[in-house]
């Protein structure tokens, strides 16, 4: 199938129009015409090969919303015209214990394959959602309620599930004091979910300009993380803190805020190792954890929860030719709070 989109030709080149081929659909494939694609900070890390592997030309994008244009003969959950959504992974082994438990992202037999910048088990390269279409096995495609605004729903496919999953796993809810670090794409979804689950939520930010927004998004308290006195007031008091920061930062300052048996969970993926002072962990028997997106079952559960509660991302919708400007603004933490590409503006 002829496809086109925006690609980085190397780790130093800006994104530019790019024509490429996708496979003809297999019996279990869904073909989706892409309407919207969110810009995740991971797209920037990967397009600049900050995590190591960069397969170029690279078409980023893993927050994909569109509508079905064709289905393979074995597809049962979708028909032509249905809304459909694809997130961060498009393949896993489907038979290991983790896959069988609906935790495909933790596939232990060959691993999950990313929506872009990756190679499928049969050797085919994956290309992401900054493009006109995508071909994906039905198992990795989600249904979308008509109650959800499709542009605002796009970031749910990564920023949404990546924050929903750990907040659920660590039992965030009424009676729990929860911190969210960084008010960006992931952070603002984490804030909405933690508030919606009934926790007492404290937003940490380096940006004074975001304080009022944080309160509107559901924060009970907002702390400017550079203010040591304000930080000290929360020492040893949090049940759970979710770290959504994309750049190197001092984790110990946050570990010290965790109460007995509490957890600091990383979802942010800076390209440099973060250092941990052992005493920050020993005190209060603290745990340091990590979490990767979420499984297919939980992603569908999250989408359905959002439809029921009226939760979408706060977005700036931009035309595809503005993608390089959007990258620069994300790097300056200057986005409220997720860019979404309007793929209808893509010119062949
Ligand atoms: P984003 O929109 O750029 O948000 C990151 C936020 O971190 C910024 O808005 C800023 O918030 C804060 N920040 C940025 N630089 C900082 C610095 N030097 N020191 C302290 N705070 C800083 O990024 P995102 O799309 O939410 O992604 C966040 C991270 O999660 C990225 O590393 C991404 O690759 C990763 N990620 C992980 C998964 C996973 O499965 N675990 C999935 C998706 C993304 P304030 O202005 O409020 O300080
Ligand atoms: Zn992402």
pLDDT tens figures, 54-89: 999 999 999 999 999 999 999 999 999 999 999 999
Asked if residue 91 lies in contact with residue 120, where contact means CB atoms within 8 angstroms, the answer is yes
**Ligand 1 neighbour 300 (Cβ under 6 A):** no
pLDDT band with cut points at 50, 70 and 90 for residue 193: very high
Residue 348: its pLDDT value, please? Answer: 80
Among 266, 177, 251, 268, smallest CA distance to 220 is for 177
Percent of the chain scoring above 70 in pLDDT: 100
Ion ligand 2: protein residues whose beta carbon lies under 5 Å: 40, 42, 158
Q: Per residue in 128-138, pLDDT tens?
A: 999 999 999 99
pLDDT, mean over the chain: 97
Q: Which residue has the tokens 């997720």?
A: 338
Q: Per residue in 31-48, pLDDT tens?
A: 999 999 999 999 999 999
Alpha-helix residue ranges (DSSP H) falling in 135-232: 150-153, 159-169, 185-196, 211-217, 228-232
**Ligand 1 neighbour 189 (Cβ under 6 A):** no
Distance CA 341, CA 320 (A): 6
Do the strands 29-38 and 338-342 form a parallel or antiparallel pair, or are they unpaired? antiparallel
Nearest ligand 1 atom to alpha carbon 187: 26
pLDDT band with cut points at 50, 70 and 90 for residue 347: confident
Tell me: pLDDT of 296 over 90.
Answer: yes
Tell me: pLDDT of 333 over 90.
Answer: yes
Distance CA 266, CA 180 (A): 10
Asked if residue 122 lies in contact with residue 59, where contact means CB atoms within 8 angstroms, the answer is no
Ligand nearest to the CA of 116: 2
Q: How far is the CA of 247 from the centre of ligand 2 (A)?
A: 15
Residue 318: its pLDDT value, please? Answer: 98
Q: Which residues face 17 on adjacent strands?
A: 6
45's tokens: 């890390």
Residue 142: its pLDDT value, please? Answer: 98
DSSP, residue by residue, 301-321: HHHHHHHHHT----EEEEEGG
């Amino acid at each position: 199938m002829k496809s086109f989109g925006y690609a980085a030709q190397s780790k130093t080149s800006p994104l530019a129009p790019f024509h490429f081929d996708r496979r003809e659909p297999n019996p279990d494939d869904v073909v989706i015409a892409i309407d919207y694609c969110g810009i995740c900070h991971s797209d920037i890390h990967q397009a600049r090969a900050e995590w190591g592997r960069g397969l170029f030309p690279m078409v980023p994008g893993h927050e994909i919303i569109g509508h079905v244009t064709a289905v393979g003969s074995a597809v049962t959950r979708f028909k032509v015209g249905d809304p459909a959504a694809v997130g961060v992974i498009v393949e896993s082994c489907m038979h290991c214990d983790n896959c069988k438990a609906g935790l495909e992202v933790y596939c232990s037999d060959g691993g999950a394959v990313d929506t872009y910048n990756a190679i499928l088990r049969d050797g085919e390269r994956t290309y992401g959602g900054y493009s006109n279409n995508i071909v994906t096995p039905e198992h990795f495609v989600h249904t979308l309620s008509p109650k959800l605004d499709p542009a605002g729903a796009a970031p749910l496919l990564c920023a949404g599930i990546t924050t929903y999953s750990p907040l659920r796993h660590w039992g965030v809810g009424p009676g729990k004091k929860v911190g969210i670090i960084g008010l960006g794409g992931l952070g603002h979804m984490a804030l909405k979910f933690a508030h919606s689950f009934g926790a007492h939520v404290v937003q940490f930010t380096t940006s004074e300009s975001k304080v009022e927004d944080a309160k509107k998004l559901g924060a009970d308290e907002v702390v400017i993380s550079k203010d040591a006195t304000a930080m000290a007031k929360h020492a040893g008091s949090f049940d759970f803190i979710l770290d959504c920061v994309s750049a190197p930062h001092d984790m110990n300052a946050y570990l010290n805020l965790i109460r007995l048996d509490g957890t600091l969970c990383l979802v942010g993926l800076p390209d440099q190792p973060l250092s941990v002072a052992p005493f920050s962990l020993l005190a209060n028997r603290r745990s340091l954890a990590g979490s990767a997106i979420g499984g297919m079952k939980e992603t569908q559960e999250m989408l359905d929860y959002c439809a029921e509660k009226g939760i979408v991302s706060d977005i700036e919708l931009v035309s595809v030719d503005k993608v390089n400007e959007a990258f620069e603004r994300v790097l300056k933490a200057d986005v409220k709070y997720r860019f979404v590409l309007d793929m209808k503006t893509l010119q062949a």
